[in-house]
Structure 1
Amino acid sequence: MLDNLRGMAVFASVVSHGSFSGSARELGITTSAVSQQIRSLENDLGVVLLHRSTRKLSLTEAGASFYEAAKDVVSAAEQGRIKVNQLRDELAGSLRIATTPELGVNRILPALSTWMAAHDDLNIHFLADNTYVDMIDERIDIAIRMSPSVNDSNVNSHPLADVRQVLVASPDYLRQYDKIEKPKDLTAHQLISIDLMKDPNLLELVQTETSKKTRIKMQSRIHTNNIFVATTLAKEGHGLVRLMEMDAKKELDSGELVEVLPDYQLPSFVLYAVTLNREQQPAKITRCLEVLKKYFHAAA
């Protein structure tokens, strides 16, 4: 089939130019290669397409009929090439972005909102989930992750921001229960456990001035796999919770939550935009990455 399609394109070019040599110049191949393509096509079809003479070429009846089909095939291929180039070079078509619900609402949508409004030829699909998404299976263009897939040769990771973890609680909770002045005081308190984290009840704290490290295992009776739920539970005084600072920024700014042990630091993370490893990225992906990087750089 592929050879037939190639032969049809060569045949259409020969008829268009009226000669094998003119077609060869257009296609960048030899005249003998053009002649071979036409012979192979005729043998495959079982008909003669061209009358050949030393002075000119002319179409047979079968050739004239076949030429119309060949022109349609070449035209369709050219239209397909144009559409592919448009998707590569223009901000159009589909853009699929995978993120978590928290990052999507608090950061990614604010980062991209103006840009999306300015490019209404883009169809944008947000997949907001806390589970790992296979970028190939789900046809994801950009995934927002807290760690890069450094061992995966299929992807490229683009750092967006350093993200601090914070241990927070509501002011009402802190007034009702024992004071928290040192890491060891945490053992008398309840941690709202977020199951998405590795070892969710184990806290590794570093004293800012001395760099002294302390590991504390807290107790939990409330568990969730959702940051929004964990944040609401903390605001309602059900315990302490460990959050990414960017996820808790609104509550910290409003005073609904306050940082516990501010002189101690939890491990930080890096927020990445992850893309599939391609020789050339479509413009819509490149531009979207630029917008995200600019937003997070300004917010740093």
Structure 2
Amino acid sequence: MLDNLRGMAVFASVVGHGSFSGSARELGITTSAVSQQIRSLENDLGVVLLHRSTRKLSLTEAGESFYEAAKDVVSAAEKGKIKVNQLRDELAGSLRIATTPELGVHHILPALSTWMAAHDDLSITFLADNYYVDMIDERIDVAIRMSPSINDTTLNNHPLSDVRQLLVASPQYLRQHKKIETPKDLADHKLICIEIMKDASQIDLIQTETGKKSRQKMSSRLYTNNVFMATTLAKNGHGLMRVMEMDVKRDLENGDLVEVLTGYQLPSFVLYAVTLSREQQPAKITRCLEVLKKYFHAN
């Protein structure tokens, strides 16, 4: 079937140019290769398509009928190529983005809002969950991920920002419980445990001035897999929370949450976008990444 389709395209070119040599120049192949394609096509069909003479070519009755079909095939292929090029070069078609609910609401949607409004030919699907989706199975174009480091070499990784971790609590909680002045004081407090974080109840700290490292295990009785839930619990005074600074920035600004142990640092994370490895990314993916990078650089 593929050979027939190739032969139909060559046949349509030969008829259009009225010669094997003209077709060969258009297609960038030799005249003998054109002749071989026509012979193969005629053998497969079991009919003669062209009368050949030293002066000109003419179509047989079967050739005239087949030429119309060949033109339709070539035309359909050209239209398909044009549509593919449009999807590659224009901001049109569909774009599927995977992120977490927290990142999606607080950052990805604000980052892309103006851009989305300016390109209404682009259909965008957001998948928001707290686990890594399979980009091929879910047909994901861009995934937003966060981890201590980027170590996946099977995909294209695009760093967006370094993100600080913080220990936070509500002012109400801090007033009602023992003071927290050193990492050892954490042993007297409860941690609201976010289960999506690795070793969630183990707190690693570095003293900012001296660089001294310490590790403190905290006990927990409240668990969730959702940062929104954990933040609400913390604001209601149910314990401390280890969280990404970007997820509670507004709560810190308006005083609903307070950072504890400000003289210490927790390990930071890398926020990055992931795309499938391709020789050439469609324009919609490239532009989306540019907008995200600009947003996080500014913030």
TM range (shorter): over 0.9
Deviations 1:117-152 (CA, angstroms, capped at 9, x unpaired) = 001111111111101111111111111111365343
In the alignment, residue 152 of structure 1 is paired with which amino acid?
T
1:103-118 paired onto structure 2 within 5 Å: 103-118=103-118
Counterpart code for 1:211 = G
Contact kept in structure 1, 2:170 and 2:235, CA below 8 Å: yes
Q: TM-score, length-normalised on structure 2?
A: 0.98
Structure 1 partner of 2:234: 234
Matches within 5 A, 1:135-150: 135-147=135-147, 150=151
2:284 corresponds to 1:287: no
- Separation in structure 1 between the aligned mates of residue 243 and residue 200 of structure 2, nearest angstrom: 11
Which secondary structure does the structure 2 equivalent of 1:220 belong to? strand
Give the deviation of 1:276 after TM superposition. 1.1
Q: Show the counterpart of 1:252.
A: 252
The correspondence of residues 15-164 of structure 1 with structure 2, limited to 5 A, is: 15-147=15-147, 150-153=151-154, 155-164=155-164
Helix, strand or coil at the partner of 2:67: helix
Match of 2:181?
Answer: 181
Map Cα deviations across residues 231-285 of structure 1 (whole Å, 9 max, x no partner).
Answer: 0010111111011000010111110000011111110011111111111111111
1:195 corresponding residue in structure 2? 195
SS of the counterpart of 1:210? Answer: coil
Is 2:189 the partner of 1:204? no
Q: Structure 1: give runs of 5+ residues left out of the alignment.
A: none
Find the aligned partners of 1:242 and 1:142 in 2 and give their Cα distance.
27
Distance of aligned partners of 1:149 and 1:3 in 2 relative to their CA distance in 1, 3 Å threshold:
farther
Taking the TM superposition and a 5 Å limit, the aligned residue runs for 1:264-283 are 264-283=264-283
- Whether contact under 8 Å (2:190, 2:239) holds in the other structure is yes
Amino-acid identity (%): 81
Aligned residue type for 1:23: S
Tell me the secondary structure at the aligned position of residue 214 of structure 1: strand
C-alpha separation in 2, matches of 1:16 and 1:211: 77
Distance 1:35 1:181 in 2: 87
Amino acid at match of 2:21: S
CA 1:223–1:108 in 2, change beyond 3 Å: closer, same or farther? same
1:212-231 map, 5 Å: 212-231=212-231
3-state SS in 2 of match to 1:203 = strand
Name the aligned partner's letter for residue 199 of structure 2.
D
- The answer to whether the Cα contact below 8 Å between 2:160 and 2:293 also exists between their aligned partners in 1 is yes
SS of equivalent to 2:196: coil
TM-score, normalised via structure 1 length: 0.98
Cα deviation for residue 211 of structure 1 reads 1.0
Quote the Cα distance in structure 1 between the aligned partners of 2:211 and 2:153. Answer: 33
For the residues of structure 1 that align with 2:152 and 2:188, how far apart are their CA atoms? 40
Cα contact 2:160–2:292 (8 A) shared by 1 = yes
Deviating more after overlay: 129-138 vs 140-149: 140-149
The number of equivalent residue pairs is: 298
Q: How far apart are the structure 2 equivalents of 1:254 and 1:68?
A: 72
- Structure 2: which 5+ residue stretches go unaligned? none
Q: For each residue in 1:160-190, what CA deviation from the matched residue of structure 2 results, as whole angstroms up to 9, or x when unmatched?
A: 1110000001111111111111111111111
Deviations 1:198-229 (A, max 9, x none): 11100001111111111000000000000000
Q: How big is the shift at 1:87?
A: 0.8
Letter of the 1:69 partner, please give it. Answer: A
Aligned Cα root-mean-square deviation (Å): 0.9
**Alpha-carbon contact 2:150-2:270 (below 8 Å) kept:** no
Residues in 2 aligned to 1:75 and 1:128: alpha-carbon distance in whole angstroms: 41
Q: CA deviation at 1:35?
A: 0.7
